[in-house]
Chains A and B, each alone.
Chain A
């Protein structure tokens, strides 16, 4: 019986092809640490917590760098960051439910917001966490719907719905603000 030699590559573990090198890991830090920190910080508005989460996520990444390829690292980082953030919220019994009445009350009775970004940030903080994350990933990081779906662990239709609802809520608040200033 004729023996067929397998290519050498077949004998190597798959991980050896995809695993991230130390250099790639450090490049990931350079490329994505700022974006991840921005995403987490804007999601929770807590500087210390954000730094801890970023630190934690990169520690996890290094622990699993053998299993994570450099091509997938950005998605991994944001997914891990989002999950860590949600876990942290759960631990702190964070309430991120959108409450329209409360939102309006907050915004109508708050001090005059002259800066659009300030209004938007206030409005953003009134959105449910999932909507907020979807919009932040979309606007800050420029992710496509399918990438956001992967990061947030939901399907693409849900991403569209969350972004739609989130933007509508923001538009509603901005519209009211326009009416006030008019």
Chain B
């Protein structure tokens, strides 16, 4: 059992009673020398130190080793409990002996590293209050959103009604054999950001929307030879030229309209008539056709956009289209064939499903 500050009194008692062995006596003397602050005075202390022939001081190294740092000192050091002076002395002592140094390294390892542990449900612990002010703010926000939605919707409807343009319009017929997308979206999407995702409307609706508009100025446009290979083509006509389908070649006549003739016929339903009657106030030209093929509708819309966008200095859409008409790309996958026609700034997509 080593002597330390907690038990040295017991050793002192045994020392004075003469019951300590020589080794224990030497250990106690070493302890007393190492801790002068305790003021331990032993009769044999000087004698042991001065008498070189004494058996107890023969082995100085043994005595020195008895004055090795105690566990308490190691712990006090790693716990930062030593005074500056004590710490300096302890550091000196450690440096003087490799064993002490390695012992200290082990002691230092007993200090635990803080692990990175995070409580996973911290948010659930928190408390959030809903004050009357917040209630009123929420109510106001809800009313605003509701009003904005209704207003925005009506604004959009008015815009489409007036301009006949719908951004990202996706037209699908009822059998979903063909899907057509019209991306008149560059400007209108900015104006109506709520319509980022394409709205799907049926061809009937689209035709009904464009019904009141004048189509007498739709003109023929030259088409590329490649268009015939893609079943469909876009007609762009020169100004003041009336569409005359009687001049179409047999090959052109044999082409399906984008909406199949059957579907075109189906569009002339009572429902369509009802919608048309509702919009009768906006009918500009009473000679307007009952229904349009999609290609006619596209040309019509292009023309409308031209009017909207045209300025004195900029070339018109049709002028641009005249130089770019016929540009197209086709991509074919296992499920569908997609043809992209580029007309000026606008693109016209045709998707055809293969398995329906």
Given that A29-B122, A33-B122 are known contacts, is A124 also in contact with B112, CB under 8 Å in the complex?
A: yes
Check A139–B111 contact: CB distance below 8 A.
yes
- The reply to whether the CB of A83 lies closer than 8 angstroms to some CB of chain B is no
**In the complex, A138 Cα to B122 Cα: how many Å?**
24
- The reply to whether the CB of B36 lies closer than 8 angstroms to some CB of chain A is no
**In the complex, A140 Cα to B113 Cα: how many Å?**
7
Residue from B114, B119, B122 having most chain A Cβ neighbours under 10 A = B119
Interface flags, B37-56, vs A, CB<8A=1, else 0: 00000000000000000000
**Nearest-Cβ distance from residue B72 to partner chain A, whole angstroms:** 7
Chain A residues lying within 8 Å of B119, measured Cβ to Cβ, are: 33-34, 36-37, 51, 54
- The reply to whether the CB of A76 lies closer than 8 angstroms to some CB of chain B is no
Q: A29-71: which residues lie under 8 A (CB-CB) from chain B? A: 29-30, 33-34, 36-38, 41-42, 51, 54-55, 58, 62
Chain A residues lying within 8 Å of B115, measured Cβ to Cβ, are: 38, 42, 140
The closest CB in chain A to the CB of B122 belongs to A33
The closest CB in chain A to the CB of B78 belongs to A167
Check B106–A140 contact: CB distance below 8 A.
no
**In the complex, A139 Cα to B169 Cα: how many Å?**
65
- The reply to whether the CB of A164 lies closer than 8 angstroms to some CB of chain B is yes
Contact for A55 among B71, B75, B125, CB less than 8 A = B125
Contact for A37 among B79, B117, B126, B127, CB less than 8 A = B117
**In the complex, A139 Cα to B114 Cα: how many Å?**
7
- The reply to whether the CB of A151 lies closer than 8 angstroms to some CB of chain B is no
- The reply to whether the CB of B120 lies closer than 8 angstroms to some CB of chain A is yes
Interface residues of A (CB under 8 A from B): 22, 25-26, 29-30, 33-34, 36-38, 41-42, 51, 54-55, 58, 62, 116-117, 120, 124, 135-136, 138-140, 163-164, 167-168, 170-171, 174-175, 178
